[in-house]
Chain A
């Protein structure tokens, strides 16, 4: 059974703080993704990674960076948090090749004050 975990379920930060969100998967998946979910906007891709140390920008990368030093771990970094980054953040992973099913983590609800 695939397990994707995220470091926090709820997080409250102040404007300007550096924020780290961490995602870990235990199925040796090649691909990992970070999305943010906002009402009426669905799931929007921030960044994805298809291999260790590899990353690609998604649709809304501005204000975010990512790090993938190990295959099982994908971190999302908000360099200087702003109030418009208040959102639900979802991590996902997939095996790759022709196994595209994405398995999602439980989400981190981030509030930036």
Chain B
């Protein structure tokens, strides 16, 4: 079955710097890759996603890149702010998202 690895497990950056979180997946049939953000004590929420027919997607300060050949995808956050502090989960899915496999998560801390 699908296996998703995520690195780093923790990440601290200074406010205003960029943050990059990387995920690798094992099943080349995976075609949908979402990123979820979970603030402390709250539920995970989708922040950005990408499909396998697209190499890059951007939404304001966040972007996701996908390398299908290498089977990895990355989340990029620019101009980080304290409210970006959270746990971020990547996931990979085949078909219509009926079976997500999540990575173990990255705890991002943005230091003022």
Contacts and interface: CB of A to CB of B under 8 A. Distances in A.
Interface residues of A, number: 26
B43 A31 contact: no
Nearest to A58: B99
Interface stretch (A14-22, A61-69, A70-78, A92-100): A92-100
Contact of B100 (A41, A45, A106): A45
A28 interface: no
A15 B42 CA distance: 28
Contacts of A40: 9, 104-105
A45 B92 CA distance: 13
A97 B95 CA distance: 9
Contacts of A100: 32, 34, 49, 93, 96-97
Interface residues of B, number: 24
27 contacts: A31-B96, A31-B97, A31-B98, A40-B104, A40-B105, A42-B104, A42-B105, A43-B44, A43-B89, A43-B102, A44-B102, A45-B99, A45-B100, A50-B98, A98-B96, A100-B32, A100-B34, A101-B34, A101-B46, A101-B49, A101-B97, A102-B34, A102-B36, A102-B100, A104-B44, A104-B45, A106-B43
Given A102-B44, A104-B45, 20 more contacts: A31-B96, A33-B100, A41-B104, A42-B89, A42-B102, A42-B103, A42-B105, A43-B44, A45-B99, A45-B101, A56-B99, A58-B99, A100-B32, A100-B93, A100-B96, A101-B46, A102-B46, A102-B97, A104-B44, A105-B43
A69 to B, nearest CB: 20
